[in-house]
Amino acid sequence: MTAAPLLKAWLTKLEELGVKFHFNKHLQAFQKMNLGFDLQFSDGDTASGDALLLALGGGSYEEDFPSWVKLLQGMGIEVSDLRAANCGYELIASPDFYKVAEGKAIKGVVLTTALGAKSGELMITRYGLEGTPVYTVGVSGEAHLDLKPDIEVEKLKSRLAGGKGDTWQRVQRNAKLSPGALALAEFLAPPGAWQNDQAAAELLKHFPIQLGAARPIEEAISTAGGVVWEKLGPGLNSLEMPGLFFAGEMVDWDAPTGGFLLTACASTAAVAASGILDFLEKSR
Ligand SMILES: Cc1cc2nc3c(=O)[nH]c(=O)nc-3n(C[C@H](O)[C@H](O)[C@H](O)COP(=O)(O)OP(=O)(O)OC[C@H]3O[C@@H](n4cnc5c(N)ncnc54)[C@H](O)[C@@H]3O)c2cc1C
């Protein structure tokens, strides 16, 4: 099934099971009562329940900072600072570089930073780099790109040697760099980089770049930080407020994008659902 019919079928199934949906409600406050929870919404509506599962998401891609952070902190629930995760980074480079390079892809590259190495495709934007490698191992500071990860230095050197022209002309012709990689090589290579084929091959395999600041939370795909693990039980139940459960990105975990975030959200929801069943069973 594609997404829309899957969602429709899923909602129908849940309704058949007795689930009631209340759309477009903004949770403003809730109280723990002797038996369960009372909830207040911004339109004045109220609701109550034996247990409460919050799955209010992270802080990225939102116009406003999520209000649940203050709400929970005000109730004594520990929440660590939300931080941009799976986000782009500024690339320190001249305006001339950006004039030429913006919108170009650096294909089949390996990015190595202080956090590790990740292969994939990078996109050069108006401020720096976006794409899986930088989402996974991005961190401010010096980094290196292997612009030709599928070929060893010696082989690359002999490939560069073919035909006429100086080393830089042969790099442009023989190295078969993607448009973004070529722009990097043109503008960001250290002085004297293209003096001979050996130096050129080594540089293409270990190309230094300087990553600046991470892009802000509003532009990040996800946020790290949130409800802290140490205050959660095995059913993702709050140890600080029995009967309260959490799932999804609002819990303090992080994962690379590409399905892992969504999988972790669904998985934590399943764990929390089991936790609620256990809790209700025990409180009977
Ligand atoms: C542009 C973009 C691309 C992404 N691509 C991928 C990808 O390719 N693969 C991947 O795995 N993940 C991806 N993600 C991340 C993934 O979508 C999220 O991690 C996931 O949707 C989080 O699920 P969640 O249920 O925890 O929260 P959400 O899906 O954010 O749902 C939380 C809901 O709670 C609501 N809410 C918040 N506060 C309140 C309140 N006080 N009262 C009532 N409602 C409230 C919010 O409005 C929201 O509807 C992407 C995210 C973005 C922004």
Whether the CB-CB separation of 167 and 138 falls below 8 Å is answered with no
Question: What pLDDT, in 10s, does the model give residues 127-159?
Answer: 999 999 999 999 999 999 999 999 999 999 999
Q: Is the CB of 248 under 6 A from ligand 1?
A: yes
Cα(137) to centroid of ligand 1, in Å? 22
Ligand 1: which of 21, 46, 251, 262 to mutate, most ligand atoms within 8 Å of CB? 262
Nearest to 132 by CA among 75, 187, 69, 86: 86
Could you give phi then psi for residue 156, rounded to 5 degrees?
-65, -40
Q: What is the CATH number that goes with domain 29-83+221-283?
A: 3.50.50.60
- Which atom of ligand 1 is found nearest the CA of 27? 42
**Locate tokens 């690339």: which residue?**
91
pLDDT of residue 62: 82
- Which atom of ligand 1 is found nearest the CA of 258? 9
pTM across the whole model: 0.85
Does 162 score more than 90 pLDDT? no
Whether the CB-CB separation of 80 and 272 falls below 8 Å is answered with no
Q: In what order do the strands lie in the sheet with 27-33?
A: 27-33, 36-41, 46-49
Ligand 1: which of 257, 260, 263, 267 to mutate, most ligand atoms within 8 Å of CB? 257
Whether the CB-CB separation of 68 and 53 falls below 8 Å is answered with no
Q: At what angle do helices 197-205 and 167-174 cross, to 10 degrees?
A: 50
How many whole angstroms separate alpha carbon 255 and alpha carbon 217?
16
What are the helix and strand counts (H, E) for the chain? Answer: 9, 13
Amino acid letter at 60? Answer: S
Burial class (CB in 10 A: 0-12, 13-18, 19+), 150: exposed
- Domain-wise residue ranges, the chain: 29-83+221-283, 89-214
Band (pLDDT 50/70/90 cuts) for residue 35 is confident
